[in-house]
Structure 1
Amino acid sequence: MTDIAVPDTAHNPAAQQGYPPMPQTPSALMVWALEARQAGQIANSLAKTSFVPQSLRNKPADVTAAILAGQELGLQPMASLRSMDVIQGTPALRAHAQRGLVQSHGHKVWIEAGASREKVVMKGQRREADGTYGEVQESVWDIPRAAEMGLTGKAEWKKQPQTMLTARATGEICRLVAADVLYAMPYNSEELSDGSAEPTPVRVTARVDTAEILANAETAKRAARPVSGPPTELRHEQPDLGEDDSAWDDVQVAQPADANDGAA
């Protein structure tokens, strides 16, 4: 008699839910895909409840993304939903959750005594792999600094300036001390909500034309190709720019600004 292999669905969660059975050694991507489906089922149940922040309510797809993003940061589903907002399409942790997450990895973050509606000083130390702590980092946020960035005229800054100063200092010190912990969400929701968490634009100091841009790109492309046999002379061909390239006449290349120009 010939034995017939029967799929074992009892120990295969994917098969139990009607999905194609997973191989004996599933890839990390396959595991993630199954977890995403499970997160989606949870999201459909929670999206309409008051446990979900207003920015995520009735948006099961966004709730799913929040749960998965929180999982990558080490947060449980409900903790993710209580700690995260979506600001203009960008997910972000709230300042208190950002601070707590960094502290949960063993790093030190604290507010110096004397914090007020005018000034907040926050300090932190990174915990190294050998258990020691690195140099103390400091973030100072005060009303003059916020005013320079155009923040003090915003509603939340008028109502609770100390809270907003603390949130700003939290985001800055956490990025200084534990950027690897926050790699997926470097800015907190308070920073994003006032619309000024964007990087400072670099200064433009050089100009190039379309031909130079495309010629350099073609040269780099040819140079990157694997070479078999004796090397041949690299040809510099003029790229076809089409009938009208006037839209590219004013193309500018951004160069890094001088370090002294961006000093706060």
Structure 2
Amino acid sequence: MTVVALSDRQHQPQNLTAPALPRMTVEAKLDYCRAFAASGLLPRQYRQQPANLLYAVEFAESLGLHPMVAITGVHVIEGKPTASSALISALVRRAGHRLRVKGDATSATAQIIRADDPDWTFEVTFTIEDARRAGLLGKDVWKKYPAAMLKARAISAVARDACEEALFGVHYTPEELGAVVDQEGNPVYAAGEIQRDTSEAPAAPAAVPPRDFLAEAEQAADAAAVRKVWDQAKTAGAPQPYLDQLTAIGLGKPGARVDQPTEGVVEAVVVEEHQDQDERAVALATMYDAAKSAGLSVEEADEAFLATFGHAPAEATVAELNEQRDDLLDALGVAA
């Protein structure tokens, strides 16, 4: 990968097409996320997951973006936010810098001319040989779309080099952190989780059963039919997160009861599951609000949480979120 400098002229800022929403209260955010989580058009990581949606809303707010931009363009890979090269390009241009990209299936070059230093051009070239040395050419997406992948690598690299402040902590694309992506650089989801590339790793037992139980559940006529699919998925060795998604699907089916829990999986866990989700969403929102009061961005709050508990807030318990909130409020001299 080659980094050089050239010269060019300054340009006018370019805005993202979707403006940010006005700042919302915690209650408004929660209502927004609960209502939105019911949509079947969302990426799987957000369906029936208001807490995950809240993370995206908070992250979008920190970037000054509309929540839909973060929901569709920002993907969390093992606790780290990533973005497609298209969104990284938009962030760079919104900051007022000029970005140029050219390339083919053998190499790609991306240039950035900063608005505050128009006489210096940052340039990164990523070649197919660079990809070969990095062991990327064995991936299916690199075999099918080498030109797109080369451009994405060049864009993210030059953006980190030239204007890291414009990225707000989104330094890498999902593919760079090992996710399996499509030709547009967006992660491929299976059973609600981002697939990881294992082309160069030893074979391991599949985390998701070979049958698409989620699709079968979505096509089921009622909650009782979903219960049968749930039983079959559990027998096949489906992990708990996968079973939880089947439960969430059953919630929206006729016959799903929340008033009289029974031994049926869908009926029995609905009340407890949604109470837990609501409690966790409130804890997450109040923790982020305390972080903002302490002058921390969402990314800084995440890093502080990771340093304390060893994992991201998106994976935290209610008790951990409340503990972090109380610590932040104590630092501000405010009673929890």
Q: Could you tell me how far apart the structure 1 residues matched to 2:154 and 2:125 are?
A: 6
* 1:155 matches 2:140: yes
- Matched with 1:140 is 125
Kindly indicate which of the two structures has a greater share of residues assigned to helix. Answer: 2
The correspondence for 1:42, drawn from 20, 25, 32, is 32
Report runs of 4+ in structure 1 exceeding 3 Å deviation.
34-37
Deviation at 1:101, TM superposition (A): 1.2
Change (3 A) 1:134 1:45: farther
Q: Could you tell me how far apart the structure 2 residues matched to 1:134 and 1:57 are?
A: 47
- Matched with 1:24 is none
Question: Partner letter of residue 168 of structure 1?
Answer: R
Question: Partner letter of residue 85 of structure 1?
Answer: H
Q: Could you tell me how far apart the structure 2 residues matched to 1:85 and 1:42 are?
A: 20
Change (3 A) 1:51 1:139: farther
Q: Could you tell me how far apart the structure 2 residues matched to 1:55 and 1:165 are?
A: 27
Change (3 A) 1:144 1:178: same
- Matched with 1:70 is 60
The percent identity for this pair of structures is: 26
- Matched with 2:73 is 83
Change (3 A) 1:121 1:105: same
The correspondence for 2:159, drawn from 166, 174, 185, is 174
Listed as ranges, the gaps of 5+ residues in structure 1 are 1-31, 197-264
The correspondence for 1:191, drawn from 173, 176, 180, is 176
Aligned length: 159
Deviation at 1:36, TM superposition (A): 4.3
Asked if 2 retains the 8 angstrom alpha-carbon contact of 1:56 and 1:85, the reply is no
Larger radius of gyration: 1
Asked if 1 retains the 8 angstrom alpha-carbon contact of 2:63 and 2:168, the reply is no
Q: Could you tell me how far apart the structure 1 residues matched to 2:119 and 2:26 are?
A: 37
Q: Secondary structure at the match of 2:172?
A: coil
Deviation at 1:134, TM superposition (A): 4.5
What whole-Å deviation, never above 9, does each CA across 1:83-114 have from its counterpart, x for those lacking one?
222223332221101111110110111113xx
Listed as ranges, the gaps of 5+ residues in structure 2 are 1-22, 181-195, 198-336
Change (3 A) 1:133 1:157: same
Asked if 2 retains the 8 angstrom alpha-carbon contact of 1:53 and 1:85, the reply is no
Q: Could you tell me how far apart the structure 1 residues matched to 2:81 and 2:48 are?
A: 16
Q: Could you tell me how far apart the structure 1 residues matched to 2:172 and 2:87 are?
A: 12
Asked if 1 retains the 8 angstrom alpha-carbon contact of 2:45 and 2:52, the reply is no
Q: Could you tell me how far apart the structure 1 residues matched to 2:40 and 2:149 are?
A: 25
Q: Secondary structure at the match of 2:166?
A: coil
Change (3 A) 1:134 1:63: farther
- Matched with 2:109 is 121
**Structure with larger RCO (C-alpha < 8 A, sep 6+):** 2
Q: Could you tell me how far apart the structure 2 residues matched to 1:180 and 1:163 are?
A: 25
Asked if 1 retains the 8 angstrom alpha-carbon contact of 2:37 and 2:48, the reply is yes
Q: Could you tell me how far apart the structure 1 residues matched to 2:45 and 2:111 are?
A: 31
Taking structure 1 as the reference length, the TM-score comes to: 0.55
Higher mean alpha-carbon deviation, 92-101 vs 55-64, is at 55-64
The alignment's C-alpha RMSD in Å is 2.2
Change (3 A) 1:161 1:125: same
